[in-house]
């Protein structure tokens, strides 16, 4: 899978589960496996990814902060 495919497929999965996630887990992070459509939630992005990698060690994941437009915000 290309990075672009992971992003596109991950966004599609996220949009289908977004309403439920925003009600139950606002502000937390989700790591989505676009192949299986399984997802892993945690208040910390690194732990969400670790959960996903434990289940699927050889895959790449789409991550985002639930209810936010971007996954990571940075100040310069």
Q: What is the pLDDT of residues 35-62, one digit of tens each?
A: 999 999 999 999 999 999 999 999 999 9
Question: Residue 31 domain-assigned?
Answer: yes
Question: Which range marks the domain in which residue 42 is found?
Answer: 3-65
Q: In the predicted model, is pLDDT for residue 72 greater than 60?
A: no
Q: What is the pTM of this model?
A: 0.87
Question: Residue 14 domain-assigned?
Answer: yes
Question: Residue 76 domain-assigned?
Answer: no
Question: Residue 27 domain-assigned?
Answer: yes
Q: In the predicted model, is pLDDT for residue 32 greater than 80?
A: yes
Question: Residue 59 domain-assigned?
Answer: yes
What 3 state SS string does the chain have? CCHHHHHHHHHHHHHHHHHHHHHHCCCCEEEECCCCCCEEEECCHHHHHHHHHHHCCCCCCEEEECCCCCCCCCCC
Q: How many domains does the chain fold into?
A: 1
């Amino acid at each position: 899978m290309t990075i672009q495919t992971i992003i596109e497929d991950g966004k599609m999965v996220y949009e289908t589960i977004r309403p439920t996630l925003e009600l139950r887990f606002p502000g937390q992070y989700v790591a989505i496996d676009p192949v299986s459509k399984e997802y892993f939630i945690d208040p910390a992005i690194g732990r969400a990814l670790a959960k996903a990698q434990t289940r699927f060690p050889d895959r790449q994941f789409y991550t985002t902060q639930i209810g936010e437009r971007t996954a990571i915000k940075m100040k310069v």
